[in-house]
């Protein structure tokens, strides 16, 4: 086995084993279907059976899609992936009865069923479903809502096809007449030629402006759908409904916005200093331009492994021993290959290694990506090794915390050991940019979501003019007077697909601030034991409780200030270093 390739035979050694599990999961699902009508009498068999089915489905889905990603040109892999997608859809339909039937139970009956059937081990898992009972409608009403689910998702689907298939952008004359696309837009905004940046910006939004009413209609209907459902279910607001899923209070969301507002002057200070460096006042088409020239350093993968192990040494012997095992035992598919999926991810199954797909290119970005994905994989490893399958999958709310903690430990290590001024400036600017894009920008998006949903809840419509007004005012607030808020930036809301993943973006900001706090505690306050316990918790506790136990209470404004103080000092240090 090539040491730079992953070894998926650790999941299935042969196609025979794969097909055996396909048949096994079909039989299990068929059996559940025959006993589901007497839900109470067969409660134990149903709960345990579904647990087994979901475990097998996860294994089959993970393997088939990773095998396909390994080489997308292999027909057999494509067929297997499609087979499992079809199987998953079929089984999901067969098991759709479970949550409605569980939620139809009275609380005393629910508690008795768990006790009488000896299912205490499953109670915490089932409680996370049963807590939605007070917001669950009658069986008939739930069936009506379910029957409209595809139609209710129409705004998101229409947005996807409008932006990815139907819209045709013009060619950029100042850049060899290349076609402007969604894929190359940001790279064009990083072009050193200001004419290219300006033309790309204006051409992009001029095209979107032609269909701005369509975008507004899609946005309004997506927001109104959520607002209507929240009212029907008895939630105080759409935001309350979405945050309830993670047991997160509105206070956490609002505190994030409040504290980020406090630190906007330091973001404005940074943009003003960029104006000094560039010799012109920035427009919105300039904000992606790198502040300092790229630090070009070739970092072969074997060197990257050693750098990562050194940077992550503060995570302790147990962590480094497992990390080293993964690096040397085919957890990672390292290099780009013909037919291989682009990008990077960490994936795996409860019974398998936490595998990583990379497209490593011997540069600093690849080094950070590797450290990031190893953070995901190590979180998964600890979570799975310390919990039964049903409690081994951590929440999306904390999914980016461990990976970002790794990145920040790497960044702090590289900064500490920077060899010259240019390297230090580049790394500091990379750090500042991480705050800009992950904390400030995502919080601006989160504030936009809050305002738009509250607007509809107050009985107003979201017209193009209203959406443009909300977004333009926020943009001016976040970028300050040091950047010209060009007229077209008012339409940027129409470019952000995450607005169709309701109240999701704030998790990027809370994830980064949490990682900043935790990395500081690991390095300076003996925070390692609490951090490792966080990695090992799986889904035993709710996300905020997990972070609180790790030493990071993001419901506390002072904790958020600790993270943003790092940004404040970075800006000061960057200016001081640049002027030397």
Residues forming the active site: 373
What is the distance between the terminal CA atoms of the chain, rounded to a whole angstrom? Answer: 51
How do 171-172 and 178-179 pair as beta strands? Answer: antiparallel
- Distance CA(156)–CA(497), nearest Å, equals 8
Q: Tokens for 472, please give them.
A: 């333009």
Q: Tokens for 198, please give them.
A: 């300006």
- Distance CA(424)–CA(429), nearest Å, equals 9
Let me know if 466 is exposed, middle or buried by CB neighbors in 10 A (0-12, 13-18, 19+): middle
- Distance CA(54)–CA(47), nearest Å, equals 11
Residue 473 CB partners (closer than 8 Å, separation 6+): none
Helix extents (H) in 438-542: 441-457, 464-479, 506-524, 528-536
Cα dihedral angle (279, 283, 286, 290), rounded to 10 degrees? 60
DSSP conformational letter for 171: E
Contact 29, 95 (CB under 8 A): yes
What distances in angstroms separate CA 519 from CA 219, 244, 461, 530, one per listed residue? 38, 28, 44, 12
Helix extents (H) in 73-122: 75-94, 98-103, 107-116
Contact 284, 485 (CB under 8 A): yes
Helix extents (H) in 117-211: 123-130, 139-147, 149-152, 154-161, 185-189, 194-209
Q: For the chain, what's the residue count?
A: 580
């Amino acid at each position: 086995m090539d040491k730079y390739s992953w070894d998926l035979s650790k999941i299935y050694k042969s196609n025979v084993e794969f097909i055996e599990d396909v048949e096994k999961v079909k039989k299990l699902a068929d059996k559940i279907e025959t006993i589901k009508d007497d839900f109470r009498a067969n409660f134990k068999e149903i709960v345990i059976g579904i647990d087994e089915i979901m475990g097998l489905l996860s294994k089959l889905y993970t393997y088939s899609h990773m095998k396909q990603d390994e080489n997308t040109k292999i027909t057999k892999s494509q067929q297997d992936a499609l087979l499992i997608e079809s199987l998953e859809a079929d089984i999901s339909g067969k098991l759709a009865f479970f949550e409605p039937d569980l939620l139809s139970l009275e609380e005393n009956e629910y508690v008795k069923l768990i006790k009488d059937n000896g299912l205490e081990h499953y109670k915490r898992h089932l409680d996370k479903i049963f807590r939605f009972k007070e917001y669950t409608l009658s069986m008939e009403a739930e069936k009506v809502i379910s029957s409209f689910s595809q139609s209710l998702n129409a705004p998101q689907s229409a947005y996807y096809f409008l932006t990815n298939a139907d819209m045709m952008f013009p060619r950029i004359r100042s850049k060899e007449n290349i076609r402007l696309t969604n894929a190359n837009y940001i790279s064009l905004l990083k072009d050193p030629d200001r004419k290219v940046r300006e033309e790309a910006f204006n051409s992009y939004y001029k095209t979107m402006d032609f269909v701005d009413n369509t975008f507004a209609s899609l946005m309004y209907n997506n927001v109104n759908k959520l607002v209507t459902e929240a009212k029907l279910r008895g939630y105080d607001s759409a935001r309350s409904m979405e945050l309830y899923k993670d047991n997160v209070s509105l206070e956490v969301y609002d505190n994030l916005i409040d504290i980020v507002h406090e630190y906007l002057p330091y973001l404005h200070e940074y943009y003003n200093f960029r104006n000094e460096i560039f010799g012109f006042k920035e427009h919105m088409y300039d904000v992606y331009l790198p502040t300092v020239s790229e630090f070009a350093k070739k970092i072969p993968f074997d060197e990257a492994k050693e750098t990562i192990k050194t940077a992550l040494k503060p995570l302790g012997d147990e962590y480094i021993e497992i990390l080293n095992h993964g690096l040397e035992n085919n957890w990672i598919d390292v290099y780009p290959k013909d037919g291989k999926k682009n990008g990077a991810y960490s994936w795996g199954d409860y019974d398998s290694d936490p595998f990583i797909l990379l497209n490593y290119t011997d540069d600093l970005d690849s080094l950070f990506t590797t450290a990031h994905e190893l953070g995901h994989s190590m979180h998964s490893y600890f979570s799975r090794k310390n919990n039964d399958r049903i409690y081994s999958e951590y929440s999306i709310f904390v999914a980016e915390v461990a990976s970002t903690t790794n990145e920040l430990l790497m960044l702090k290590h590289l900064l500490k050991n920077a060899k010259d001024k240019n390297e230090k400036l580049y790394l500091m600017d990379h750090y500042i940019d991480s705050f800009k894009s992950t904390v400030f920008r995502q919080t601006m998006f989160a504030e936009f979501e809050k305002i738009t949903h509250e607007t509809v809840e107050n009985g107003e419509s979201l017209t193009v003019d209203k959406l443009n007004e909300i977004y333009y005012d926020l943009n001016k607030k976040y970028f300050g007077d040091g950047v010209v808020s060009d007229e077209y930036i008012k339409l940027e809301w129409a470019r952000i697909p995450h607005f169709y993943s309701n109240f999701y973006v704030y998790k990027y900001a809370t994830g980064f601030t949490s990682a900043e706090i935790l990395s500081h505690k690991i390095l300076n306050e003996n925070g390692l034991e609490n951090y490792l316990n966080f990695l090992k918790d799986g889904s035993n506790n709710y996300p905020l409780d997990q972070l609180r136990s790790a030493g990071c209470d993001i419901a506390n404004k002072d904790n958020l200030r600790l993270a943003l103080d790092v940004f404040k000092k970075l800006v000061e240090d960057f200016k001081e270093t640049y002027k030397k």
